[in-house]
Chains A and B, each alone.
Chain A
Amino acid sequence: MTHNRSLQSLESCIASSRFSRRGLIRTSAAGLSAAMLATLPGGRLAGAQDTGYGGESVTLSYGLWDAAQKPGIDKQIAAFNQQFPNIKVEPTIVPFDDYWTKLQTGVAGGQTYDVFWMNAPNLPVFAAQSALLSIEPIVGDGGADPSKFPAALVESYTFDGTLYGIPRDFDTIALFYNTRLFDAAGVDYPTDAWGWEDLRVAAEKLTKDGGPWGFGCLISDQQNYFNFIKQNEGGLISDDFTTCLIDEPASCEALDYLTQFFTAGWTPSVSIMQANDPEQTLFPAGQIAMMPSGSWNARTFGEADPAIKVAPLPKGKQRACMIHGLANVIWAKSPNQGAALEWVKFLAGEEAERILGESATVIPAMQGLQEDWVASMPDLDLQVFLDAVEYSFPLPSPPSGPEWRDKIEAVLIEGWSGNFPAEELCTRAAAAANEALSS
């Protein structure tokens, strides 16, 4: 039953205007882009499988940032090599913080990965500079089928009417919690009935002076504060991507709600999180009782401590969380475009997506394969991440790139460190973001 519900919810979110509203700004309508994908120009629809790869020996470099996914990717490569024994795929893992620096300098220097991971916020940056190869030659019968993937995610990888990638996975946000710390403090576990006040009260009870802390207020928009702003029906950015709306009263209210966790000491202070990564250290080590985090962390947390469980994010004025997904894209100047297209086509196919689901790291984006992922970690109620799709909002991705989010983050770090009065938080953040959006 729940399985069916999740698939329906996935379907409904694809159809729902709320889910796709922001993602669809750049082209006129969802139907239009779906139609574009279904009938590609040049009559390439039928037998559109001419990638230009002729069976020669080729080594493809494959750039990515998440080391936890390496085992699954190795399996994908092994399966790919059954079909294409002469294409050697060499994955290179660069940590997320340095990934974009390295990628952009590599593209500029004419030497980068043939195929690499792309996220929605950076797609317009690279597509606008003609750094990416259109994948339309591999879309069609027997090739990649965009209609099997969430439309809003497909849309995030379309730029000026051209498709540059098929989503490989998607992620939503939920509340992870450590049952041992809840038991020790005698607090009831989070449920899907929780609201903001429940979270606040529990955080207070769970906090001990000097740690552990009740709540992990991550310095992360995707995993933390954007979700709360959306739950409070606050704005993030205007539909035309020119103005940051984080200074709307509802957005400010959400930020103020989070600020109190710092002022009351219910979350590790900014400097403690600066010294100890909450996702890598504090939460898995049992120093934080509950923390909102992305579905991609489920495996790391679950393996670190069997006492860690997961519940939906608490509800504000409405249920809300951020959704995002990665895609595999091809470098426009790759000398091995034929082989790269074959690899990307394989990655967008059912076999590769199934391996991804079974590897228990991220949620495969192809419809119908999410259950493999849910079943891959039976000790965690991963269904909450699929249920969250229904009330999720895509990460806004203006064409000027992700710098506006960096600016907000930098302001929040200073504000939550107490370096300026808390009431200036949202106006300062909006001003900094607007500067980035206008430059």
Chain B
Amino acid sequence: MVVASSLAQVRRRGRFGLTVQARSEARWGYFLVAPMMIGFAVFSLFALLASLVLSLTSWDVLSSPKWVGLDNYARLFSDDQFRTALRNTALITAPNVLFRMIFSLGLALALNTDIRFRSFYRVVFFMPVITMPVAIATIWKWLYDPAFGPINAFLARLGFPRPEWLANPGTAVIAVVIVLLWSGVGYDMIIFLAGLQSIPKEYYEAAQIDGAGSWRRFRDITLPLLTPTTFFLMVIAIISSLQVFDLVFIMTRFGAANRLPTVVYYVYEEGFRNFRMGYAITMAWALLALILVFTLLQFRLQRRWVHYA
């Protein structure tokens, strides 16, 4: 009965020009996404807005927040530690993103050929991606051990000096970037492989008939057609690099000192060790602004180099 009557009304137009059926569908749609939206509103949106308010306060977590206006934001500009954290983050991000692109593309190209044990290699290179970062950092910290670690034992056998890898900012950057590359290249490689396989074979055939060599084919077919993939991976890599925390937390922290504090590490230290939550939140917002700027900039620049076939 109900069904029949609603069917009869199907053609009648309701508000916003929607049919009754469409409106009912919309209602169901809202109903079905409600759990997710409510969860988002309560646990993300509310927290996000609350944190914006808290960034205007001085709050030690235990007592109630004290209003300080824009003091926290002003402090950002005169805080040497924040500047150091920014510099360290930049020093990690730049080589990490650059070499990640180069190595993962190289691996993808190598594994896109008909070599033996191809799927075995794919698994090997992808394995670090699905390994817990804490486990990776702990193992690598042991590998980098200045006195008893295998890396320095190897260097010593070759007659090189034994660097104190994680004890000074210069070598710590190299050490951390190596681990980031090792653990991140596998993911990018898989995405590049998918990108490579979506390039139609006919293009290569046509180019070959026209007499294009392998370098030419790579430069004029593979690279341009991979630019959307590269663009996506670069945006993701820059965002994740700017947020690097767990590796430096485990590898470079010692007692009350960190040899390579990054922005997120400094947020953690101020928020959860020194309990200056208001300032920590302010830095988190500054990081968000930074990521936003970089991402918008990339979207702006992509028009010049990304080629959508």
Contacts and interface: CB of A to CB of B under 8 A. Distances in A.
Contact of B257 (A276, A405, A410): A410
B273 interface: yes
Contact of B61 (A104, A405, A409, A417): A104
13 contacts: A100-B273, A104-B62, A104-B272, A105-B61, A107-B61, A107-B62, A219-B255, A273-B254, A275-B144, A275-B145, A410-B255, A413-B256, A417-B168
A272 B141 CA distance: 11
B164 A269 contact: yes
A407 interface: yes
Contacts of B168: 271, 417, 419
A399 B146 CA distance: 39
B226 interface: no
A272 B152 CA distance: 12
A403 B147 contact: no
B149 interface: yes
Given A268-B147, A409-B256, 16 more contacts: A100-B273, A101-B272, A104-B272, A108-B62, A219-B254, A219-B255, A269-B146, A269-B167, A270-B254, A272-B145, A275-B149, A405-B256, A406-B256, A413-B255, A413-B257, A417-B164
B148 interface: yes
A410 B256 contact: yes
B5 interface: no
Nearest to A218: B255
Given A101-B272, A129-B62, A271 B257 contact: no
A330 to B, nearest CB: 16
Contacts of B197: none
Contacts of A417: 164, 167-168
Interface of A: 100-101, 104-105, 107-108, 125-126, 129, 131, 210-211, 219-220, 268-276, 403, 405-407, 409-410, 413-414, 417, 419
Nearest to B63: A129
Contacts of B182: none
Interface in B103-158: 141-142, 144-149
A275 B141 contact: yes
B166 interface: yes
Contacts of B147: 210-211, 268, 272, 275-276
A274 B167 contact: yes
Chain B contact residues: helix, strand, loop or mixed: loop
Contacts, number: 75
Given A101-B272, A101-B273, A407 B145 contact: no
A211 B152 CA distance: 15
A406 to B, nearest CB: 4
Nearest to A402: B256
A351 B275 CA distance: 38
Chain A contact residues: helix, strand, loop or mixed: helix
Nearest to B269: A406
A364 B227 CA distance: 69
A386 B134 CA distance: 41
A332 B63 CA distance: 14
A276 B145 contact: yes
A276 B256 contact: no
- 3 smallest A-B Cβ distances: which pairs? A271-B167, A129-B62, A271-B164
A410 B266 CA distance: 14
Contacts of B273: 100-101, 406
B274 interface: yes
B246 to A, nearest CB: 14
A131 B62 contact: yes
A188 to B, nearest CB: 28
B245 to A, nearest CB: 15
Nearest to B61: A108
A30 to B, nearest CB: 29
Interface in B148-182: 148-149, 164-168
B56 to A, nearest CB: 18
B263 to A, nearest CB: 18
Contacts of A409: 255-257
Given A101-B272, A101-B273, A268-B147, A274 B61 contact: no
Interface in B253-278: 254-257, 272-275
A274 B256 contact: no
A274 to B, nearest CB: 4
A418 to B, nearest CB: 9
Q: Which of B63, B147, B164 has the most CB of A within 10 A?
A: B147
B33 to A, nearest CB: 29
A417 B60 CA distance: 32
A271 B63 CA distance: 38
A100 B272 CA distance: 9
A210 B144 CA distance: 16
Contacts of A220: 255
Interface string B57-81: 0001111000000000000000000
A76 B166 CA distance: 43
A126 B61 CA distance: 11
